[in-house]
Amino acid sequence: MESASNLIIALDAGHGGWDNGALFETRREKDDNLRLCLEAKLQLKAQGFGVICTREADSFVPLAKRTQLVNDQDADLLISLHRSYFSTPSDEACGASGFIYPTASLETSGRAAQLVLSALEEAGVQRMVGISRAHNAVLRRATMPAMLLEVGFLSNPADNRLFDENLINYARAIAKGVTQFFGLNFNEKAKVGGARAAAPPLLDENEIFDMQQLLESRYGFGLSATGRLDDSTRKAAVIALQIELNGAYEAEIAVNGSLSPQTLSAIRPIRPGDSGGLCALLQVLLILNGYEPGDVDGYFGRKTGVALRFFQRDQYIIPSGIAAADTLIKLIRGR
């Protein structure tokens, strides 16, 4: 029987850098591809495989260079990770699918894709769409069994929710399918180590209490300070966000504490060097979630950037240090 330590699995996070891939609301395909790639790398290494990635950061790698990289490393299997997209959001456009090159063998590439998709189905994708053949550039010149996985539709909100909630399970499923393809036993108790984010910090009741009082003093909508990050506090944070967006951008959002489409569309990225009420609210939200941005002074300085990147890392968001809508939503909903 082959040993996992003698095998190299190549993971290709589709798109990257200037190439966002599919876009849906504030979500970019390239980010999801990389998140899944990095987690799958950890899961595969925990099973004893050698792993190479065509990219491990938000960078653009030409398609030909990706294939050359995995060929030069004599990889035993290539998995290119993507998200599907349908121009008109539809409940029916959902689930995971696999693609192999038109001339690829069903006994190698096809069987590997089938095993990985079956494991993903067990892990909770909405449905398994199946395997098709496609003229994909990354697959075309691969000298080893290769597949392209579309893990849910970026245009399907339910698929996105499942992707976020089941990221680790999806990565484990990929590792399980790969293990089965090589005729090895999947170790359910394998310890995952390496670069995975550490457990988020513990919440401090005193700091939450102080931030609740600060929110009430600044916005005055009747929030009671309890020291608990509860639904009332989350609603108050949304109200504060709506007030600040209206003030900063004349967004004319109804101040009702609901993350409405109008609220989400009005959010603009908060960046290092920015200042004002939105920056102060970002600092409050970081503290409510257990991170340390420094004083709530409304200036996006170094400490705020470090705290934000730690939060993004712990939430499996690309740690860009920029608070876009996806990060603000996570901060408000709490971990």
- State pLDDT tens for residues 123-149: 999 999 999 999 999 999 999 999 999
pLDDT at 130: 95
Number of structural domains the chain divides into: 2
pTM greater than the 0.85 cutoff: no
Q: 183 versus 87: which is more confidently predicted?
A: 183
In this structure, the answer to whether residues 177 and 213 fall within a common structural domain is no
In this structure, the answer to whether residues 228 and 131 fall within a common structural domain is no
Q: Does the residue 200 lie in any domain?
A: no
In this structure, the answer to whether residues 176 and 27 fall within a common structural domain is yes
In this structure, the answer to whether residues 296 and 210 fall within a common structural domain is yes
Segments forming the whole domain that contains residue 61: 4-181
| Alpha-carbon gap, residue 334 to 331, rounded angstroms | 5
In this structure, the answer to whether residues 176 and 98 fall within a common structural domain is yes
What's the CATH code of the domain at 291? 1.10.101.10
| Alpha-carbon gap, residue 152 to 82, rounded angstroms | 9
24 — phi, psi (to 5°)?
A: -145, 115
| Alpha-carbon gap, residue 78 to 185, rounded angstroms | 20
pLDDT average, residue stretch 154-168? 92
pLDDT at 247: 95
Q: Mean pLDDT, the chain, as a whole number? A: 92
Name the residue with tokens 């200042």.
Answer: 275
Q: Does the residue 186 lie in any domain?
A: no
Each residue's pLDDT tens digit, 58-90: 889 999 999 999 999 999 999 999 999 998 878
pLDDT at 1: 57
| Alpha-carbon gap, residue 297 to 279, rounded angstroms | 8
Q: Does the residue 290 lie in any domain?
A: yes
In this structure, the answer to whether residues 12 and 151 fall within a common structural domain is yes
What's the CATH code of the domain at 82? 3.40.630.40
Each residue's pLDDT tens digit, 253-289: 999 999 999 999 999 999 999 999 999 999 999 999 9
pLDDT at 141: 93
CA nearest 23: which of 258, 325, 241?
325
Q: Virtual CA dihedral for 87, 91, 96, 99, nearest 10 degrees?
A: -40
In this structure, the answer to whether residues 128 and 214 fall within a common structural domain is no
Q: Are 292 and 203 in contact (CB under 8 A)?
A: no
Residues 6+ apart with CB under 8 A from 253: 242, 245, 246, 260, 262, 263, 266
The alpha-helical segments, DSSP class H, found in 124-230 are 137-140, 157-165, 167-181, 205-219
Instruction: Please identify, among 181, 215, 233, the residue that sits at the C-terminal boundary of a domain.
Output: 181
Q: Does the residue 314 lie in any domain?
A: yes
Instruction: Please identify, among 181, 197, 219, the residue that sits at the C-terminal boundary of a domain.
Output: 181
CA nearest 151: which of 59, 52, 60, 34?
34
As given in the structure block, the two tokens for residue 83 are 């998200």
In this structure, the answer to whether residues 241 and 176 fall within a common structural domain is no
How far is it between the farthest Cα atoms of the chain?
68
pLDDT over 90, % of the chain: 79
As given in the structure block, the two tokens for residue 201 are 């910090």
pLDDT at 310: 83
123 — phi, psi (to 5°)?
A: -80, -10
In this structure, the answer to whether residues 11 and 154 fall within a common structural domain is yes
Q: 218 versus 198: which is more confidently predicted?
A: 218
| Alpha-carbon gap, residue 304 to 311, rounded angstroms | 11
Q: Does the residue 199 lie in any domain?
A: no
Confidence of residue 37 (pLDDT cuts 50, 70, 90): very high
pLDDT at 309: 85
As given in the structure block, the two tokens for residue 39 are 């987690």
pLDDT average, residue stretch 221-229? 90
pLDDT at 24: 87
Q: Virtual CA dihedral for 270, 275, 278, 284, nearest 10 degrees?
A: 100
In this structure, the answer to whether residues 16 and 69 fall within a common structural domain is yes
In this structure, the answer to whether residues 31 and 165 fall within a common structural domain is yes
265 — phi, psi (to 5°)?
A: -70, -20
pLDDT at 197: 47
| Alpha-carbon gap, residue 143 to 131, rounded angstroms | 20
Q: Does the residue 192 lie in any domain?
A: no
Q: 111 versus 192: which is more confidently predicted?
A: 111
pLDDT average, residue stretch 164-181? 96
Instruction: Please identify, among 133, 166, 181, the residue that sits at the C-terminal boundary of a domain.
Output: 181
As given in the structure block, the two tokens for residue 37 are 């790639």
In this structure, the answer to whether residues 35 and 137 fall within a common structural domain is yes
Q: Does the residue 309 lie in any domain?
A: yes
Q: Does the residue 195 lie in any domain?
A: no
